Amino acid sequence: MQSFNPPIRTLMGPGPSDIHPRVLAAMARPTIGHLDPAFVGMMDEIKELLKYAFQTENALTMPVSAPGSAGMETCFVNLVEPGDKVIVCINGVFGGRMKENIERFGGEAIVVEDEWGTAVTPSKVEDACKAHPDAKIVAFVHAETSTGALSDAKTICKIAQDHDCLTIVDAVTSLGGVELKVDEWGIDAIYSGTQKCLSCVPGLSPVSFSEKALDKVRNRATRVPSWFMDLNLVMGYWGQGAKRAYHHTAPVNTLYALHESLVMLKEEGLEASHARHAKVHQQLKAGLEPMGISFVVPEDQRLPQLNSIVIPEGFDDAEVRGRLLNEYNLEIGAGLGALAGKVWRIGLMGDSARPEKVLFCLAALKEVLGK
């Protein structure tokens, strides 16, 4: 068995996105102890940088030491108690996964459904809130990675607040790519991933919790059915204060990488990053239209950084993706769940959201499809 030397790909699927050499270099720096004062100082910087990315002053803003799915679970396992009614919006795979989480922790899921490939309809959320005045939480996906639909988080959060509900928001694919204002919109619990618009390696899940959310966690009637994800414990490790209580061993080098990618986001600026993602989306659109390739999501609900496109008739899903991978070292994504075999997903996220890469992707698609 020998060392693994990966092929050099261009990653334009639903994540991971391409990683900038600065981030890869940061990750390879020598490991130090996870309680080393130098490391603790870096953790504090990560928290500050994440507050900027999330546009929040929430004290508990930090990366969970595991992938986005664990960030999702951290939100639900802490906030949902047995018997709690939770309104959950499903318009793709990840809304469905939220429902699974709610039920596993003994909650009752009130489902608000929208068609896959469309945004969550705020009026449906409002109807559900009215029909279930005892609901405690509204949960929804800001940017559905399975379809590329962007929902109106600001409006949905307002509705939830008007009905005294906490909000749990999936921002895995939106963070860094489109406008996201945790404090201004009044989001109570949010989770994201590092391998999308932050262009960091996969393996961490940035989260943020409002004081209102933490109050619910502190005053639970039952213990959190997880030791690893119990915020009451995690707060002692990532929380403010001089003395940090040992909880688990942080993934030191992956946190170096996240730090570097967040420094890069700060250097570029959030608005500039959003504008860059919007611009390459227009470039992609302008290139796909002459090929007769259409988008799944209506234009006004479309996420710039994750583009579900309809597989043109006469072409085989796996064969085309295989040719792109093998002949061009280009990865694009397959459809997920109900859209499997029907769509491709082109990700323009983080360091993959570059005009030169969009140009290459369009040219490769054109050759393979003979358009």
Residue with smaller CB distance to a copy of itself, 180 or 257: 257
- Decide if residue 161 touches a copy of itself (CB under 8 A): no
* Residue choice 15, 95, 122, 206 for contact with a copy of itself (CB under 8 A): 15
State in angstroms the smallest separation of the CB of 282 from a copy of itself: 25
- By CB under 8 A, what part of segment 168-197 binds a copy of itself? 193, 195
* Residue choice 57, 211, 212, 227 for contact with a copy of itself (CB under 8 A): 227
* Residue choice 117, 176, 177, 203 for contact with a copy of itself (CB under 8 A): 203
Alpha-carbon distance of 278 to 44, in angstroms, equals 31
Amino acid at 194: T
Residue with smaller CB distance to a copy of itself, 145 or 210: 145
Strand partners, 64: 205
Sign of CA dihedral 57, 63, 64, 67: positive
Evaluate whether 198 touches 265 at the Cβ level (below 8 Å). yes
Contact segment (CB under 8 A) with a copy of itself among 39-47, 54-62, 120-128, 132-140 equals 39-47
- By CB under 8 A, what part of segment 71-110 binds a copy of itself? 72-73, 77, 97, 100-101, 103-105
Q: How many CB atoms lie within 10 A of CB 22?
A: 15
State in angstroms the smallest separation of the CB of 161 from a copy of itself: 27
- Decide if residue 27 touches a copy of itself (CB under 8 A): yes
Cα–Cα distances (Å) from 31 to 19, 250, 258, in that order, read 20, 11, 14
State in angstroms the smallest separation of the CB of 107 from a copy of itself: 12
- Decide if residue 201 touches a copy of itself (CB under 8 A): yes
- By CB under 8 A, what part of segment 273-312 binds a copy of itself? none
* Residue choice 30, 241, 314, 370 for contact with a copy of itself (CB under 8 A): 30
Tokens, residue 221: 């009637």
- Decide if residue 57 touches a copy of itself (CB under 8 A): no
Beta strands in the chain (DSSP E): 10-12, 60-64, 85-90, 108-113, 137-141, 143-144, 149-150, 166-170, 189-191, 205-209, 306-310, 330-334, 343-347
Residue with smaller CB distance to a copy of itself, 4 or 221: 4
- Decide if residue 338 touches a copy of itself (CB under 8 A): no
Evaluate whether 308 touches 261 at the Cβ level (below 8 Å). no
Alpha-carbon distance of 338 to 91, in angstroms, equals 11
3-state secondary structure of 74: helix
- Decide if residue 28 touches a copy of itself (CB under 8 A): yes
- Decide if residue 118 touches a copy of itself (CB under 8 A): no
State in angstroms the smallest separation of the CB of 18 from a copy of itself: 7
Which residue is associated with the tokens 């997920």? 336
Evaluate whether 267 touches 281 at the Cβ level (below 8 Å). no
- Decide if residue 70 touches a copy of itself (CB under 8 A): yes
Alpha-carbon distance of 144 to 138, in angstroms, equals 16
Contact segment (CB under 8 A) with a copy of itself among 55-63, 180-188, 242-250, 272-280 equals 242-250
State in angstroms the smallest separation of the CB of 133 from a copy of itself: 28
